[in-house]
């Protein structure tokens, strides 16, 4: 959220749970809610996929399927084995969070983090 504030980027978000989307909008993590992955990715220059490990591969696949030819897609998952096929797409750059894990989930982290967390 801190990096978004500094860059002035417009952020669209998608989650299958509408309560998660509403919370993300309320705390300022996203500017607008998208009805699906394609809607969240439409017109994006860069896409970051954040999903539970079991859903990450499918979410990256959908993001790549929906992204423009010049859009970079990355993830913030800590495991890459299931994303091996995504590496065949030159738009995909696997990422890795360097921030410490929080058992309470992203919403607690977003409300309590005042600075950008590094990633590679």
Which of the two residues, 68 and 108, has the higher pLDDT score?
68
CATH number where 99 lies: 3.40.50.720
Taking alpha carbons only, the member of 65, 63, 66, 67 closest to residue 77 is 63
pLDDT on residue 102? 54
Asked whether residue 68 is assigned to any structural domain, the reply reads yes
Asked whether residue 118 is assigned to any structural domain, the reply reads no
Q: Once rounded to an integer, what is the mean pLDDT over residues 38-62?
A: 93
Which of the two residues, 14 and 79, has the higher pLDDT score?
14
Residues spanned by the domain of 106: 2-112
- CB–CB of 27/4 below 8 Å? no
Q: Coil, helix or strand for 14?
A: coil
Q: Once rounded to an integer, what is the mean pLDDT over residues 95-115?
A: 57
Report the number of distinct structural domains present in the chain: 1
Structure tokens at 92: 């995909």
- CB–CB of 12/40 below 8 Å? yes
């Amino acid at each position: 959220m801190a990096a978004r504030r500094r860059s002035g980027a417009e952020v669209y978000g998608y989650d299958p749970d509408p309560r998660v989307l509403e919370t993300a909008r309320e705390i300022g993590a996203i500017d607008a809610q998208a009805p699906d992955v394609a809607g969240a990715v439409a017109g994006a220059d860069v896409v970051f996929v954040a999903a539970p490990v079991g859903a990450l591969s499918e979410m990256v696949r959908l993001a790549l399927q929906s992204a423009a030819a010049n859009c970079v897609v990355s993830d913030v998952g800590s495991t890459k084995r299931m994303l091996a096929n995504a590496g065949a797409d030159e738009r995909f750059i696997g990422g890795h969070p360097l921030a410490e894990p929080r058992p309470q989930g992203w919403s607690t982290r977003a409300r309590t983090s005042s600075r950008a967390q590094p990633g590679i």
